[in-house]
Amino acid sequence: QVQLIQSGAEVKKPGASVKVSCKASGYTFTNYLIHWVRQAPGQGLEWMGVINPADMNTNRAQKFQGRVTLTADTSINTVYMDLSSLTSEDTAVYYCTTELLYAHNFEHWGQGTVVSVSS
Amino acid sequence: QSALTQPASVSGSPGQSITISCTGTSGDVGAYNSVSWYQQHPGTAPKLIIYSVNKRPSGVSNRFSGSKSGNTASLIISGLQAEDEADYYCSSYTRNISFVFGPGTAVTVL
């Protein structure tokens, strides 16, 4: 079965960067896009961006342009989300989620990674 | 600020049907049949329950159904059960080659 296993919780100071990983298994890695969605405490879901592991093309929400870097390592079926210049407003649970190529929905979800930003 | 609009909360008694609306624009909900719905229980990841407006993934109860008219999509939960108490989010693909979510609707089973 499809599984997305994310890296553990992170505590960062303002201005720092965080890198969250998402290891996929149970399917052909290049058949699905991987999106990143975050959820601030008590808030709703927010789409951040997407990477296509087949060709490494990425697209990010305008809000995160210049601050989010999405990469993938096909040798270990893992996608990474790097978020820089952190502020307290980046405190959230970060999820990776799959989209079957161009199905326009988020089918499988990782367990979430808590990122806390505090001085 | 979310691009899609949902009611903050909806409630119903067991066995009843409820409807959650999701209103967007001609640039997202109205542009494609790419509306999906997610159920999220506290402390867990969201779960896809409806995709492409009205399709159910394997294993999702047929008590969940979806529809769309113009710029507004709807999620209908029939035969409401205690386990349906959760937050529900709609999402749409957009003309900007991006995705937007609604703010979420808290469903309470009375």
Q: Are B99 and B92 in contact (CB under 8 A)?
A: yes
Cα A18 from chain centroid (whole Å): 11
For residue range A69-86, what is the model confidence (pLDDT) as tens digits? 999 999 999 999 999 999
Q: Are A52 and A59 in contact (CB under 8 A)?
A: no
Return the pLDDT at A101.
84
Q: Which of B71, B9, B7, B64 is nearest to B35 (CA)?
A: B71
Return the pLDDT at B1.
44
Are A59 and B97 an interchain contact pair (Cβ–Cβ within 8 Å)? yes
Between A102 and B109, residue with greater pLDDT:
B109
pLDDT surpassing 90 at residue A22: yes
Give the best residue of A105, A107, A109 to mutate against chain B (max B CB count within 10 A): A105
For residue range A35-44, what is the model confidence (pLDDT) as tens digits? 999 999 999 9
Rounded to a whole number, what is the distance in Å from the CA of A30 to chain B's nearest CA? Answer: 20
For residue range B50-73, what is the model confidence (pLDDT) as tens digits? 999 999 999 999 999 999 999 999
